[in-house]
Amino acid sequence: MTTDAKAGLLAILRDGGARTRAELVEMTGLARSTVAGRLDVLLSERWIVPQREAVASGGRPATAFAFNPGAKLALSADLGVTHARLAVADLNAAIIAESSAEIAVVQGPRSVLGWVIETASELLSGLGRDLTDLCGVGVGLPGPAEHETGRPVSPPVMPGWNGFDVVRHLHDALGAPVLVDNEVNMMALGEHRATAPAVDQLMFVKHGTGIGGGVITDGQLHRGAQGAAGDIGHVRAASAPDDLVCACGNIGCLEALAGGAVLAGRLRELGENARGARDVARLVRAGHDDAVRLDRQAGRDVGEVLAGLVNFLNPTAIVLGGDLSRAGEHLLAGIRETVYRRSLPLATQHLQIRASGLGERAGVVGGAVMVVENALAGTSLG
């Protein structure tokens, strides 16, 4: 069986352009009647559209079928600790409308999701579309969420969210399938599909108020057994003092040593006006000595934890996102310095360590990718 056959009709059309019925039969090895039946379903659901073109060998014109990226829309929400972003994307996960607001996740699920519902309607009507055009809704949360049920699990920074039925709440209001994931998983997925689709192994680190991670193995988001994969903030940092207590209850966690909230606190002790990660980034960009020094050291601390993960997973690329990744090269330099010193030479030989190419949009792009891939798989014709 060929790879093309495995990928299915819709994937062939999506990735490789328009094809005729005869071409699809030849490429897949499927029976002619099977191909015809599947094309009929795809046409009736508007996933594909017919195009008329002449046959090269001079016979009568044959109809070619093409993927239709505007057939449906994906709604994608990236709900961070202190700010939220909502986007509408087409079936190529290209963003066609978006909105953002300073909405803190501590305002609770009804308030935050209320903003999502209201803003979704505004964005859709601005596009001349409506809720019936949605093929799904992707939601990223700043804490662990069970991917199967979409319920947040004991999220430390999200009072009121524990066990809240995000899926049902949004589905009742929006009428489309809802997928919930950790926001860093979504960022990893978005970054991979949009900027590094050929990279099999990618590690994404979000350095903002907290420190989180997401991991792509063999081109797929790795969620782990309970959907809890990707945490790096609560790994013990070798450079942490023995009495450093973390909000999670453990000692010596990376986030308690080098997270944006902790760095902001140190700058406040030095008399600076720094409430959170964004203020730290602002001071670093302004060249503030202490902020730069703390940022560089935070990079080394993160690098120390990443070095072990690089040895174990041998990724092709490490991508850095979050507010502190947008404050210049100091953080990245600290990470590179430590990873190249600490990891095995074979594992760092071709390792790329870089800032996110999508910046603040990584999360909403990833949510759109998640929704579209799920919707396409859900046609059962993929």
Select the residue interacting with a copy of itself from 304, 323, 331, 363 (CB under 8 A). Answer: 304
Q: Where are the alpha helices (DSSP H) in 77-205?
A: 109-126, 166-174, 183-195
The angle that helices 166-174 and 109-126 make with each other, rounded to 10 degrees, is 30
Q: Taking contact as CB under 8 A, which single stretch among the options 55-63, 78-86, 118-126, 225-233 is the one that binds a copy of itself?
A: 225-233
Q: Rank residues 2 and 60 by Cβ distance to a copy of itself and give the closer one.
A: 2
φ/ψ region of 162 (left if φ > 0, alpha if ψ in -120 to 50, else beta) reads beta
Q: Taking contact as CB under 8 A, which single stretch among the options 44-52, 71-79, 169-177, 236-244 is the one that binds a copy of itself?
A: 236-244
The torsion angle over the Cα atoms of residues 195, 196, 201 and 207, rounded to 10 degrees, is -20
Query: Interface with a copy of itself includes 215 (CB under 8 A)?
Result: yes
Select the residue interacting with a copy of itself from 228, 247, 333, 355 (CB under 8 A). Answer: 228
Q: Quick one: which of 355, 15, 19, 2 has its CA closest to 187?
A: 355
Site residues for a copy of itself, 335-374, by CB under 8 A, read 341-342, 344-347, 349-351
Q: Rank residues 173 and 259 by Cβ distance to a copy of itself and give the closer one.
A: 259
Query: Interface with a copy of itself includes 226 (CB under 8 A)?
Result: yes
Query: Interface with a copy of itself includes 34 (CB under 8 A)?
Result: yes
Catalogue the long-range contacts made by 263-269 (C-beta closer than 8 Å, 24 or more residues apart): 263/291, 263/294, 263/295, 263/298, 263/324, 266/290, 266/294, 267/291, 267/294
List all residues 6 or more positions away from 60 whose beta carbon is below 8 Å from its beta carbon: none
The answer to whether 59 touches 38, Cβ cutoff 8 Å, is no
Q: Rank residues 56 and 225 by Cβ distance to a copy of itself and give the closer one.
A: 225
Following DSSP, what letter does each residue of 176-200 receive, concatenated? Answer: S-EEEEEHHHHHHHHHHHHH-TT-S
Smallest distance, a copy of itself to C-beta of residue 265, A: 23
Q: Taking contact as CB under 8 A, which single stretch among the options 12-20, 24-32, 47-55, 173-181 is the one that binds a copy of itself?
A: 24-32
Smallest distance, a copy of itself to C-beta of residue 303, A: 11
Q: 285-319 burial by CB neighbour count: b if 16+ within 10 A, else e? A: eeebebbbebbbbbbbbbbbbbbebbeeebbebbb
Query: Interface with a copy of itself includes 31 (CB under 8 A)?
Result: yes
Smallest distance, a copy of itself to C-beta of residue 172, A: 27
Query: Interface with a copy of itself includes 107 (CB under 8 A)?
Result: no
Smallest distance, a copy of itself to C-beta of residue 192, A: 14
The residues binding a copy of itself (CB under 8 A) are 1, 5-6, 8, 29-32, 34, 144, 153-154, 200-201, 213, 215, 217-218, 220, 222-232, 234-238, 240, 248, 250, 252, 304-305, 307-309, 311-316, 341-342, 344-347, 349-351, 381-382
